[in-house]
Structure 1
């Protein structure tokens, strides 16, 4: 989204909880769109309403002071606030769920309320609801579960998303492929959809566990274990 907006000449304030991501995207924007100005700010949105969030919020306000903001894009998804993929409730730390809810809970209804309240003032609020986008978050799922027919690339989704800014009301799905999935989901009986979602998430849970196990460091050799025990 940042690259797509930069390609249209918009100066950007980039906010992320990962400093490395900020350096990477800011560097890419400078190399591709030299005339676009960027500011970067490390800020964890899940700290809002907590004591730890007061100082980062103050610095964010200082960074934004005097800027004429025309578009604000807030990208929210479960992985960004610490939820480790598809898991059961009892498998997640309480703090991880609390961070997720502080960032994601009631986003669609909140956006609709803001849209109704401020549309007459020329401020349009829109919640875009996609399905799978082929980011690093889902790349393994795409490879193993063959989701590619309904999975769009980040560039394709960003182009569609920017085109829909200011159109489509308070809630929309910019990608045509994702619109088709919403239509299928809406046509299914609720119990069928529940069954599909449950089994889909169980498959994701099993897949993510296999991926995690494959990336785990190899156990020490038996000789090393014996020596360690002897010591």
Structure 2
């Protein structure tokens, strides 16, 4: 009996060691992306002539647009504010020499997609970045504590965070399948990887994006299409109410540049090494700890002070 127990626990220990060794080896790809999966210089422009970026007039969207233009693609910026669109378009054209088209629409509306489709007709689109998104409320709070117009806010968030991803993908994916190549990056959030109190609506919408991306990647990977969900932690944008970047709070340009190195790393990444480390740590914290009233009150105090 003692010999059996010794063999059992020895085997169990070896199995656990091997599991964590594999996890560690997989994690190395985020430290050495250029070695693990080197990208040829023509990787992105080989997907197609144009890249579409929603919410491309600011923050992460603008950063993706600039980085993709530097990699040889012409850019289609889709966002709400015309003045910002014009400024970003001029910046991209002057700094990269690439062509830029702009489409002014409000993604909280549902009657915009025919107009977008007409503007995209006959363009060879190789990359799509579904980045546009909004918070349910600017200050973190419990679901029933939204003092504005909750029904309108809910509708706006669903159209902006969920409908936009589905409609833009449905619009552009067929031509990618026809050419057997293409890349769709869906910019989610780390709070979409677990049920996040105080951001319940936003978290749920980003969770939809995560599962939608993973399901589509499984369906279309064999057809040469990469569909990846990127779920960042802190990035210094207007949405995060922060203009200062640091190691965990990434600069949008640095984040976009690093995340583009990870596009062949599977159906989901956190987008950069610092956020991959944060994601690993977060996944080790039991949900019941974060869901206690005490933890919520502490988080509410910290988030309100930060906001």
Q: Same fold (TM over 0.5)?
A: yes
Q: Provide, for residues 80-100 of structure 1, a one-character-per-residue CA deviation record: whole Å limited to 9, x for no partner.
A: xx6323233223322112221
Equivalent residue pairs, number: 194
Secondary structure of 1:23's aligned partner: helix
What is the CA–CA distance in structure 1 between the aligned matches of 2:78 and 2:218, rounded to whole Å? 26
Query: Residue 226 of structure 2 aligns to a residue in which SS?
Result: coil
Greater fraction strand: 2
| 1:44 to partner: Cα distance | 2.2
CA 77–201 in structure 1, closer or farther in 2 if over 3 Å, else same: farther
Q: Scaled by the length of structure 2, what TM-score is found? A: 0.58
CA distance in 2, matches of 1:117, 1:138: 33
Q: What do you get for the CA RMSD once the two structures are aligned?
A: 2.2
> Secondary structure at 1:148's aligned position in 2?
coil
**Structure 2 counterpart of 1:14:** 77
Flag the structure with higher helix content. 1
Matched residue of 2:77: which SS? strand
- Deviations along 1:170-202, one digit per CA (max 9) or x if unpaired, are 111121110111111111122223355653244
Alpha-carbon separation, structure 1, partners of 2:81 and 2:113 = 16
**1:138 and 2:247 equivalent?**
no
Q: TM-score, normalised by structure 1?
A: 0.75
Q: CA deviation at 1:157?
A: 0.2
Provide, for residues 44-93 of structure 1, a one-character-per-residue CA deviation record: whole Å limited to 9, x for no partner: 22323xxxx1xx322211111111111000114433xx632323322332
Q: Is the 8 A contact 1:83 1:100 kept in 2?
A: no
Alignment of 1:8-157 (within 5 A): 8-34=71-97, 36-48=98-110, 53=111, 56-79=112-135, 83-92=137-146, 93-102=150-159, 103-104=161-162, 105=205, 106-140=208-242, 148-157=246-255
The answer (yes or no) to whether the contact 1:112–1:170 under 8 Å persists in 2 is yes
Structure 1 gaps, min length 5: 209-231
Aligned partners of 1:77, 1:202: CA distance in 2, in Å?
A: 24
In structure 2, relative to structure 1, the CA distance for the partners of 1:17 and 1:94 (3 Å cut) is same
What residue is the counterpart of 1:213 in the other structure?
Answer: none
